[in-house]
């Protein structure tokens, strides 16, 4: 079997999630390429060494530029903080490496445009890790919508609720906390959490044309772990917005890290003329489905345990009733990426499709400042 | 409209539930008779006076024999403890009064037989308050089974779990606590709670032919409120049994008052070849339904909110989505009783049908002593 | 016991719900007054006669002005469509009748102000039927918030989803359908459904200061039952808005009649620093509660079955585990109104407090037109 | 790091689940040994070759006796059908190989005794794959019980419901279907499914002293894939039993493959004086917990999302809110086995502890024949 040599940049949470996916995918999927963990890269030599040993990477690098120079690397996986995505991705593209980039694509639309422009020039395969598309229940939702089961869509609503930053003692910046640092993250919940909701939304329900938003930073100052000083918090702790889709449906979106009782409660619901779908990350192996064409007295929300062989991806795993978890969405992501290479039919979202989400985030953040409805910049086909 | 003069015996929990039903039924149902709260009867004059005032009974009696002598009483409602059912019912029958008797029918099958014999002779209308048959979701289950939606039945399982007697300080006997006194109640959870499960089971799934059971009395002695002394507890605190139905299906039944966290958790599930049903008294306005004939990838348990106009009884109440509660099952019970009078087609369960449950309870209690499988005495058609 | 003679105006859905409450309240609550169904009033003599018979009203009227002239009426209950509230209420106040007015208070804030002004002058007791405050689980939420259990509040989110107007064949106007007629209703889901959400929200979480909204009318024309012609639909089929509360918390609100699978799904959630609460009308006897102060590994949303004696109002009903339903919220409403009379401490919301909701609805509808954030007019204390 | 060379016997469902566990464990756990997939063994050379390639086994064998002769194998993993467990395990023990044996331990207690005797002589490390003990929620239940959180235990109830054998067209015997063949499996749901329930039950609640059971074979004859002929079905399709624990608590157990709507619905509930626990394999990342010591009006079943760092095993995986799945219980099993080696403190259940479950299954199957309560043979300490 052909090998796909992976160069990983980063060793944090996503570094682990992706490494696990690369390692597992060939045990469960029949694919044209087998990923090989060739090199792991980060500035801290001791840490990247430990990481590489743990996961079986064959070598390490401490400078991503060096990694890009290596001939034995086929694909670069960017798991560095958001503020590094653009620079690394453009360099990787110029070096002829395929790119898997952690979401969000970039700090903002302007950066994203530059990245898209570059990969359109180099024509190298590229993809962004919006992994939730590949949770089997979410993929099933996509199937149903594509088949027209829902009919005309009236409503979409999504939220992504967490509660891990309520304490004022939590610092910002540094390992594991760069998501709270505006300079590293670009935004708060908007880019981190709503980006996921938006990616799923546009995949399922098409383009968003305009939005009105509000954001809030509940805790105005936090100690910064890099400077050691108390500094203003630049990110949005919470964000909610109303939106109108091109298909005429209305939407509400909300995300916060101040919703006590919710760890990673990403839910969406879509209401169509004939059927509705609800999904919840906290029970990701289920899909709630309402079918209006059922006999009247027997209509009810069906709680579908998405673990059967005829559910997306599930023929690869165990037997009906035995659930998979969070990490499997990444395995599916890699499987589809490889399958796309093999069939020369790129898996989505590539940089260009991920730019759509970036534009929506930009409009949301702008509206939160202006108080106006903002039109969403559309990506040209 | 014709009047139906009610004579109520008792003023406790069931006295209230039934009175409420008599008062409300004509506001919601179109019936040939309108119940009139004619007289309430109990030994304690002060208490029955207060009760009668509260509910609008026109008069009181302190001796049920007096009540039976009155010409202006059409129907007697027996809400006295179990040990009085037989005597009152037989006297009422002889006095030509229709009878509504609280469940269980009697202390045991022998008493029940005598009651059935008497009403078969007098031919007066008679009914037992197994009210759960008339929760709309339960009635819907019956409809579906009668229509053959489930196909061949393989399994039935029911439980009725409570936790109110865990404290050893709780006394036995007296007002509100006669259910813990073997002399007043006849048995513990078997007659009080399992009788409900059994009544529903045989209504939905036909005759039970044999059982094997175990019972337990966790707290062996309790203060008796009538004697003031600590006395042995004669009732079963918990009872579980296995059963075989005549149709070949297997069943498990369990009841206890020692299941911490459950107030009145009566649930049943029935598994058929093609479909399954689950119901839970704690959410009595819902029915869970699984339909195997649904498209494979979209099969799931449907949570049906049984509040639509095409659900049993629900066209009489509010609008879809607005739930009714526990008390409404009694209103439906009265409505069906009156409807049966009007159409000369008695509503069930009458004494004879309630005797079936009595026989099963007898077999269960016997098996708990012998350790053997016991055959259930069958009621002759 | 003192009597409280009721004059009911209307005989529709709310006429039934209120009549039931008047009839039942004295059976379950110990109060200083006992409601008497004195007269029912509507223009259609046959219909009001049938209604009065069904519910036991002693007399009928076909002109509400006549009703107001009667000496034997203490309290007038306004269950007429929204466009009649103001006129009847002002006349009732001038006639010295106490007033129970169905929600929303009026067609808009201007009408509401006139009504408030009048009752402030006449000083007659007045109340608006925002009944959901008195669902025991909702009242429990209020208790917990008042006690400070939640700590600082960060988020409030509410939605009221229905699906009964999706069919384009449904006409507008006339009996049962006046809610779809802009002239009778004043607005669509905003006044009908969001008004409930808003009333609960401000009761639990204090004043709302500004909003930004969007509305949509999915079906632009419907046959009008009064004119027989296809006419433009003037109401909002759906409405969503973002809001900021005076206490610094953020909110999202949404209502629609196009959410397939939802009959009357009114839910709210409130996230505080220390605890969170969720409630759902479809299971109104439950409250979901998250307590952050629980031991870490044992934290979870508690599903509280609000049927115990120490839950609000529940000592009046049955025993733990036996649920009440939708109609009981109206019984509690009447009980509190009477209790307020008795103690000379008016039950809320009175007209003035209901005007707050009216102002918010006005701001929402205005914002939906302007696209701007709109300040909410505040009611002077 | 020290290596632990694994020799796998079998390549079916369990072969995959275990291989995945061996491959992953070192990426997530810090352990003294690292498993190496040394050899895979099965009679069918083509199939075992494919399997070995897929999973990265370094070599293959087609005779398990050969495997046992190899010096480079440290531990043998027996994933062959039940009727081969005894012979292979005893030979492995004699060959000095550590043994991981798929559950149930053996065909019956007599076989199990021989196996226990052998490993007690050889003193080689041995363990049985009762993996559900190591689902984090189940391990958490064990912690709570050990800490005395539940107080005196009154009730235990477990069921394991499936529906995959309802069709009469399903054959018995052969690959994937040996579980339906009495000669390969030893029993039906009793050894396959109830064994899991029993293992968890005795781990959590101590010894079972006696049982009364019923079994049923709904479909009496099925085509046998090995003989090609229609032959009697020897296994139990369904089994239910009542049990008494040594600690005085009562139990009900039930398993069937004829419960329409359930794929692998393994649930258990345990009711203690002070708290109760419920768990469901279909949502294995959750534990339902009721704490009676909570404030009265705020008591409710807590739905605990067992994904926090302070939950058993969960510090090794992702972040709070992100669930793991079925396969992870096997990873934990291997981790604990290795940890036991490292610390010279064997992980449980070893053969001896698994023999307890075997004795209970024997008593259950005997009772189903005799109709009597049967005492359970106890394992000597």
**CA distance linking residue A150 with residue A141, whole number of Å:** 10
Which of D19, D263, D286 faces A320 most closely, judged by CB atoms?
A: D263
Q: Which of C131, C150, C166 is the last residue of a domain?
A: C131
CATH code, A112: 3.40.50.720
CA atoms within 13 A on the CB side of D374: 20
Residue C165 lies in a domain: yes
Question: What residues in C contact A272, CB-CB < 8 Å?
Answer: 260
At residue D226, the pLDDT reads 87
Tokens of C42: 């509507």
**Do the Cβ atoms of A50 and A17 come closer than 8 Å?**
no
* B202 and B292 co-located in one domain: yes
* A11 and A66 co-located in one domain: yes
Residue D54 at interface with chain A, using a CB cutoff of 8 Å: yes
pLDDT tens-digit map of A99-149: 999 999 999 999 999 999 999 999 999 999 999 999 999 999 999 999 999
At residue A381, the pLDDT reads 81
* C120 and C161 co-located in one domain: no
* C269 and C140 co-located in one domain: yes
Q: What are phi and psi of B322, to 5 degrees?
A: -105, 110
Burial of B181 (0-12, 13-18, 19+ CB in 10 A): buried
Residue B327 at interface with chain C, using a CB cutoff of 8 Å: yes
* C120 and C162 co-located in one domain: no
Residue B380 lies in a domain: no
**Do the Cβ atoms of B209 and B241 come closer than 8 Å?**
no
Q: What is the mean pLDDT of residues C226-248?
A: 96
Which of C19, C282, C317 faces B305 most closely, judged by CB atoms?
A: C282
Residue C380 lies in a domain: no
* D351 and D225 co-located in one domain: yes
Q: Nearest C-alpha of chain A: how many angstroms from C119?
A: 38
pLDDT greater than 90 at residue C365: yes
At residue B345, the pLDDT reads 94
Q: Nearest C-alpha of chain D: how many angstroms from C311?
A: 6
The ipTM of this complex is 0.97
Total residues found in chain C within this entry: 381
At residue C344, the pLDDT reads 93
CA atoms within 13 A on the CB side of B81: 17
Test mutation, B26, B314, B327, chain C, max C CBs within 10 A: B327
Tell me which chain C residue has its CA closest to the CA of residue D277. C298
Burial A303-341 (b: 16+ CB within 10 A, else e): bbbbbbeebbbbebbbbbbbbbbbbbbbbbbbbbbbbbb
**CA distance linking residue C250 with residue B174, whole number of Å:** 54
Averaged confidence pLDDT in chain C: 97
Tokens of D285: 């990342």
**CA distance linking residue B362 with residue C321, whole number of Å:** 27
**Contact check, Cβ <8 Å, D214/B250:** yes
Question: What residues in B contact A300, CB-CB < 8 Å?
Answer: 287-289, 302-305
Tell me which chain A residue has its CA closest to the CA of residue B321. A300
Residue C165 at interface with chain A, using a CB cutoff of 8 Å: no
Q: Which of B90, B108, B131 is the last residue of a domain?
A: B131
- C-alpha closest to that of A153 among A205, A200, A197, A203: A205
**CA distance linking residue D32 with residue D48, whole number of Å:** 29
Give kind and range of the element (H or E) at residue D5.
Answer: strand D2-9
At residue D176, the pLDDT reads 76
Residue B329 at interface with chain C, using a CB cutoff of 8 Å: no
Which of A287, A299, A302 faces B301 most closely, judged by CB atoms?
A: A302
Residue C216 lies in a domain: yes
At residue D174, the pLDDT reads 78
Q: Nearest C-alpha of chain D: how many angstroms from A327?
A: 7
Cross-strand pairs, C301: D303
**Contact check, Cβ <8 Å, C260/A250:** no
Question: What residues in A contact B289, CB-CB < 8 Å?
Answer: 298, 300
* B356 and B215 co-located in one domain: yes
* B154 and B203 co-located in one domain: yes
- C-alpha closest to that of B208 among B352, B103, B364: B364
**CA distance linking residue A366 with residue A363, whole number of Å:** 5
pLDDT tens-digit map of C260-283: 999 999 999 999 999 999 999 999
At residue A380, the pLDDT reads 85
pLDDT tens-digit map of B274-330: 999 999 999 999 999 999 999 999 999 999 999 999 999 999 999 999 999 999 999
**CA distance linking residue C151 with residue C84, whole number of Å:** 42
3-state DSSP call for residue D353?
helix
Which of B144, B303, B310 faces A303 most closely, judged by CB atoms?
A: B303
**Contact check, Cβ <8 Å, A323/D19:** no
Residue A380 lies in a domain: no
Q: Nearest C-alpha of chain D: how many angstroms from A282?
A: 6
Compute CA D173 distance to the chain's CA centroid, rounded to the nearest angstrom: 21
Q: Nearest C-alpha of chain B: how many angstroms from D93?
A: 42
At residue D175, the pLDDT reads 74
Q: Nearest C-alpha of chain B: how many angstroms from C27?
A: 5
Q: How confident is the model at residue C174 (pLDDT cuts 50, 70, 90)?
A: confident
Residue D381 lies in a domain: no
Q: Nearest C-alpha of chain B: how many angstroms from A342?
A: 28
- C-alpha closest to that of C256 among A252, A214, A280: A252
The beta-strand segments (E) located in C112-229 are 126-128, 153-161, 208-216, 221-223
At residue B235, the pLDDT reads 97
pLDDT greater than 80 at residue A176: no
Which of D248, D258, D373 faces B371 most closely, judged by CB atoms?
A: D373
Domain count, chain B: 2
Give kind and range of the element (H or E) at residue C93.
Answer: helix C85-94
**CA distance linking residue A117 with residue A380, whole number of Å:** 12
Neighbours of chain C (3+ CB pairs under 8 A): A, B, D
- Quote the domain boundaries for residue C34: 2-131
Of chain A residues 13-52, which have a CB less than 8 A from chain D?
Answer: 13, 16-17, 19-20, 23-24, 26-27
Q: What residue has token string 């369960």?
A: B349
**CA distance linking residue C374 with residue D237, whole number of Å:** 67
Residue D324 at interface with chain A, using a CB cutoff of 8 Å: yes
**CA distance linking residue B43 with residue B48, whole number of Å:** 8
**Do the Cβ atoms of C297 and D300 come closer than 8 Å?**
no
**Contact check, Cβ <8 Å, D325/A320:** no
Residue C274 at interface with chain A, using a CB cutoff of 8 Å: yes
- Cα–Cα–Cα angle for D16, A12, A228, rounded to 5 degrees: 160
Q: What is the mean pLDDT of residues C312-320?
A: 98
Which of C157, C244, C273 faces A166 most closely, judged by CB atoms?
A: C273
In this structure, what is the dihedral angle of CA atoms A62, A65, A67, A72, given to the nearest 10 degrees? -160
* A93 and A241 co-located in one domain: no
Q: How many CB pairs under 8 A join B and C?
A: 102
Q: What is the mean pLDDT of residues A24-33?
A: 97
Of chain A residues 301-320, which have a CB less than 8 A from chain B?
Answer: 301-305, 308, 310-311
* B170 and B111 co-located in one domain: no
**Contact check, Cβ <8 Å, A155/C301:** no
Can the peptide bond before residue B349 be classed as cis, meaning omega within 30 degrees of 0?
yes
Residue C258 lies in a domain: yes
Burial of A49 (0-12, 13-18, 19+ CB in 10 A): middle
At residue D380, the pLDDT reads 85
Residue D267 lies in a domain: yes
**Contact check, Cβ <8 Å, B259/D242:** no
**CA distance linking residue A378 with residue A207, whole number of Å:** 8
> Percentage of chain A with pLDDT > 70?
100
Averaged confidence pLDDT in chain B: 97
Tell me which chain A residue has its CA closest to the CA of residue D266. A321
Q: Nearest C-alpha of chain D: how many angstroms from C287?
A: 9
pLDDT tens-digit map of B160-183: 999 999 999 999 987 779 999 999
* D120 and D138 co-located in one domain: no
**Contact check, Cβ <8 Å, D216/B250:** yes
**CA distance linking residue B57 with residue B49, whole number of Å:** 9
User: Quick count: other Cβ atoms within 10 Å of Cβ D246?
Assistant: 14
pLDDT tens-digit map of C47-60: 999 999 999 999 99
Q: Nearest C-alpha of chain A: how many angstroms from D326?
A: 6
Contact partners, residue D61, CB within 8 Å, separation at least 6 = D7, D39, D40, D41, D48, D67, D70
CATH code, D247: 3.30.360.10
**Contact check, Cβ <8 Å, C308/D302:** no
Q: What is the mean pLDDT of residues B338-348?
A: 95
Can the peptide bond before residue A202 be classed as cis, meaning omega within 30 degrees of 0?
no
Q: What are phi and psi of A122, to 5 degrees?
A: -80, -20
Q: Which of D83, D100, D131 is the last residue of a domain?
A: D131
* B122 and B139 co-located in one domain: no
At residue D381, the pLDDT reads 81
Question: What residues in A contact B297, CB-CB < 8 Å?
Answer: 140, 304, 308, 310-311
3-state DSSP call for residue A254?
strand
> Which residues of chain D fall short of a pLDDT of 50?
none
Which of C20, C263, C281 faces B27 most closely, judged by CB atoms?
A: C20
Total residues found in chain D within this entry: 381
């Amino acid at each position: 079997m052909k090998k796909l040599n992976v160069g990983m940049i980063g060793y944090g949470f996503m570094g682990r999630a992706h490494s696990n996916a690369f390692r597992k995918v060939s045990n469960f999927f029949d694919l044209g390429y087998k990923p090989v963990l060739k090199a792991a890269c980060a500035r801290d030599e001791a840490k990247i060494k430990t990481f590489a040993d743990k996961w079986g990477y064959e070598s390490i690098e401490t400078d991503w530029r060096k990694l890009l120079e290596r001939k034995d690397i086929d694909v670069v996986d960017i798991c560095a903080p958001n503020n590094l995505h653009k620079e690394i991705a453009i360099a990787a593209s110029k070096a002829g490496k395929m790119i898997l980039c952690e979401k969000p694509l970039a700090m903002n639309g302007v950066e994203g445009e530059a990245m898209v422009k570059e990969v359109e020039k180099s024509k190298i395969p590229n993809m962004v890790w919006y992994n939730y598309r590949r949770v089997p229940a979410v993929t099933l939702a996509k199937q149903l919508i594509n088949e027209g089961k829902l009919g005309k869509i009236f409503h979409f609503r999504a939220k992504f609720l967490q509660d891990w930053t309520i304490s004022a003692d939590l610092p910002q910046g540094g390992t594991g906390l760069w998501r709270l640092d505006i300079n590293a993250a670009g935004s708060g919940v908007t880019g981190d959490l709503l980006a996921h909701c938006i990616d799923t939304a546009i995949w399922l329900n098409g383009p968003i044309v305009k939005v009105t938003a509000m954001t809030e930073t509940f805790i105005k100052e936090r100690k910064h772990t890099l400077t050691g000083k108390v500094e203003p918090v630049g990110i949005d702790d919470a964000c909610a917005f109303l939106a109108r889709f091109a298909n005429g449906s209305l939407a509400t979106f909300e995300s916060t890290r101040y919703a006590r009782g919710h760890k990673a409660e990403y839910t969406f619901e879509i209401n169509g003329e004939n059927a509705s779908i609800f999904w919840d990350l906290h029970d990701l192996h289920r899909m709630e489905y309402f079918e209006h064409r059922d006999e009247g007295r027997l209509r009810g929300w069906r709680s579908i345990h998405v673990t059967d062989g005829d559910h997306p991806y599930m023929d690869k795993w165990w037997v009906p009733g035995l659930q998979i978890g969070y990490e499997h969405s990444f395995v599916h992501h890699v499987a589809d990426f490889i399958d796309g290479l093999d069939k020369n039919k790129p898996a989505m979202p590539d940089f260009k499709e991920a730019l759509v989400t970036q534009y929506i985030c930009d409009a949301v953040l702008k509206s939160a400042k202006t108080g106006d409805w903002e039109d969403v910049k559309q990506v040209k086909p």
